[in-house]
Chain A
Amino acid sequence: MLKIDKLNFSYDDLKVLWDIDLEVHEGEIVSVVGSNGAGKSTTLKNISRLVRPDSGSILFQGEEITKLESHQVVERGIVQVPEGRKIFPEMTVRENLRMGSFIKSAKATRESNMERVFTLFPRLKEREKQLGGTMSGGEQQMLAIGRGLMTNPKLLLLDEPSLGLSPLLVGNIFEIIKEINRQGVTILLVEQNVYQSLRIAHRGYVLETGRVVLSGKGEDLLNDPHVRKAFLGM
C-alpha cells in the first residue's frame, strides 16, 4: 500500500533521514519505534508532504506522492494525526470533527462518521459543544484521532498518540488503535512507547539516528536482544 524507497531528508545542513526504506501493507498496523530525534516524526512529515525530501520516493497505491501538495495527499486517503494533537483550539469539538470531513469525498459521510466517532469516544459526544482548547490532554487526543477518522482514511498516520497521557489512558488509546484497525483502517504508528506499540503491531521498524536498524514482526522485535536492551531496559 505504502512503499518508501531510499528516502533522504535534511533540515538545512542537518541530515535527519538516511536512505529510509519502509513498507506498509493493506490492513496492517506498522509501528516505527525509536528514541527522541531518531527521525520518526520527520518520516511522517515527509509522507504528509509538510516537508520536502532531498531524494527518494514514496509510493502510495502505486502512485508517486512526493510531487503532491499536502491536501492532495489527504485526498488520496493518507491522514495524519500529528504529534501534540494540533486540534483547533477556538473551535468546538463538533466543529473540529467537521473540519476532518472538509475534503469532498468525506462530506457525504459526515453524519455517519460523526456517529462512528462518538461511538468510539463517547466522551466526545458529552463535550460536543466545548472548545477544543479547553479540553484535557486525553480528550484532545481522542478528538485528534476522531478528526482524522472523519476523513475516511485508507492509511492513518499516528504520531505519538500516547505522549503526555496518564498510564490508564495510554492502555486505552492502544486498544482504540487496534479497534480502528479491525474496522479496516491501515495504520502507521510512530511511538516512543516501544513495548505497547510493538505489542499491537503486525510489523515494526526500529529507527536510530535517522536510519532503519531493525525491522520485522512486532513480537519478534519485542524479543530482540537489542530492542530489549536499548528500549525496554531488560
Chain B
Amino acid sequence: MIVFFQSLLSGVLIGGVYALIGIGLTIIFGVMRIINFAHGDIMMIGMYLTYNLFAMAGIDPFLSIAITIPIMFVFGALLQKLFINRVLNALPQNQILLTIGLGLIMSNTMMLIYTSDYKILSTSYSSSSVKLFGISISEPLAISFVITAAITALLYWFFLKTDTGQAIRATAQDREAAQLMGINVKRMSIIAFGLGAALAGTAGALISPTYYIFPQIGSIFTLKAFVITVLGGMGSILGATLGGVIIGVAESMGAVYISSGWKDVVVFVLFLLVLLFKPAGLLGKSRM
C-alpha cells in the first residue's frame, strides 16, 4: 500500500510541472489555433537559463524563476510578434513548419553554445527527501509542486478576474467578436504566446534540479505537452491541468508496477484509450 501511495504522490508532484507545460501549450492553441511545436524547446531554453544563473551567479533554481519568468515572457512575445503573427491566416502545415523550424533553431543554437553534453544542476537538496507517514517526498519535487500550484492559481485568477485575462479568453472564444469589442487581438496574441513561453520556461526551471539538461530534451517535452493538452481537451486550461496530473501519475505508476522502460507505453496506451472513447479529450467541450 505504501508503494501505491508513494508512486501516486510522486506522480502528482511531477504532474504539476507537466500541467504547467500543458497549460502553456493550450493557451497558445486556444488563442491562435496554432500548435506550438517549439514548446519543448522553449522549455529547454528555460532550463539552460536556470542552469547559467546557477552556475555563473549561484542563484538557486527555484529563486531564479523570478528572473526566468519575465525573460521567457519577453522571448515568447517576440516570437509571436516577429514570426507567428505573420502566419496566423496561413495554411496549418505552414504554421506547423514554422514552429518546428523555430524549435530546431533553438535546439541547434544551444548545441552550438553548450555542445550536446548532459549538464547537471545539483543543489544541496537535489537528492534529499522528507518522510511523511512512511512516504518519502523528494524535496525539489515538493518545492516545485508548491510553486506550480501557486502559479496555476495565479493564472486562474488572471483569466477569470482581470480585464486582460478575460480579453484573452474572449479572443480565444471568438476572435472576430473580440475585435468588435475593441480588443486588440494581435496584442492579446502576443501576451498569450508570452504567457505560454513563460510557463514552459518556468517548468524548465523547476525540473532542472532533477533532470539532465541537454539541447535535444525539448522534443520529448513537446510530445508530452501535446499528449497532455489533447488528453485534457485542446484549448481547455482545466483540461491541461488535469491532463498533466494524469500523465504524471500514469508515468509514475507505470514505472513502479511495470518497469521504468515501459512508462511511456502506459502513457500512450492511456492516451489512445481516451481518444478512442472521448475523441475531443476529457474536457474537450469547454474552451478557455
**With A95-B166, A102-B167 given, is the CB distance from A50 to B179 under 8 Å?**
yes
- The size class of the interface chain A forms with chain B is 20 to 34
Question: Which residues 142-196 of B have a CB within 8 angstroms of A?
Answer: 163, 166-167, 169-170, 173-174, 176-185
| Interface residues as binary, B100-132 with A (CB distance below 8 Å gives 1, 0 otherwise) | 000000000000000000000000000000000
Q: State how many angstroms separate the Cβ of B182 from the closest Cβ of chain A.
A: 3
B31 close to A (CB within 8 Å): no
B287 close to A (CB within 8 Å): yes
Partner of B181, one of A50, A89, A107, A151: A151
| Interface residues as binary, A97-126 with B (CB distance below 8 Å gives 1, 0 otherwise) | 011101100110000000000000000000
Evaluate contact between A74 and B170: CB separation under 8 angstroms: no
- The size class of the interface chain B forms with chain A is 20 to 34
**With A88-B169, A88-B170, A89-B287 given, is the CB distance from A75 to B180 under 8 Å?**
no
**A107 cross-chain contacts in B, Cβ below 8 A:** 163
A227 close to B (CB within 8 Å): no
Q: Please list the residues of chain B having a beta carbon within 8 angstroms of any beta carbon in chain A.
A: 163, 166-167, 169-170, 173-174, 176-185, 286-288
A220 close to B (CB within 8 Å): no
A177 close to B (CB within 8 Å): no
- Give CA–CA (A103, B170) in the complex, Å: 14
| Interface residues as binary, A67-82 with B (CB distance below 8 Å gives 1, 0 otherwise) | 0011100110001101
Known: A70-B179, A70-B182. 6 other contacts (CB 8 A): A50-B179, A71-B184, A99-B178, A102-B166, A102-B170, A151-B181
**With A99-B166, A102-B167 given, is the CB distance from A89 to B173 under 8 Å?**
yes
Q: State how many angstroms separate the Cβ of B122 from the closest Cβ of chain A.
A: 44
- Give CA–CA (A48, B183) in the complex, Å: 12
Question: Which residues 181-208 of A have a CB within 8 angstroms of B?
Answer: none
Partner of B170, one of A79, A99, A106, A151: A99
**A87 cross-chain contacts in B, Cβ below 8 A:** 174, 177
Evaluate contact between B180 and A80: CB separation under 8 angstroms: yes
Among residues of A, the one whose C-beta sits closest to the C-beta of B179 is: A70
Partner of B163, one of A48, A75, A91, A102: A102
Evaluate contact between A82 and B183: CB separation under 8 angstroms: no
**B177 cross-chain contacts in A, Cβ below 8 A:** 82, 86-88
Evaluate contact between B174 and A102: CB separation under 8 angstroms: no
A-B contact pairs, 25 of them (CB 8 A): A48-B179, A50-B176, A70-B182, A71-B183, A71-B184, A71-B185, A74-B181, A75-B182, A79-B180, A79-B182, A82-B176, A87-B177, A88-B170, A88-B174, A89-B287, A90-B286, A91-B173, A99-B170, A99-B178, A99-B181, A102-B166, A102-B181, A102-B183, A103-B181, A147-B181
**Best-surrounded residue of A50, A98, A102 (most CB of chain B within 10 A):** A102
**B183 cross-chain contacts in A, Cβ below 8 A:** 71, 99, 102
Among residues of B, the one whose C-beta sits closest to the C-beta of A104 is: B182
Q: State how many angstroms separate the Cβ of B286 from the closest Cβ of chain A.
A: 6
Evaluate contact between B166 and A86: CB separation under 8 angstroms: no
**With A88-B169, A88-B173, A99-B166 given, is the CB distance from A82 to B180 under 8 Å?**
yes
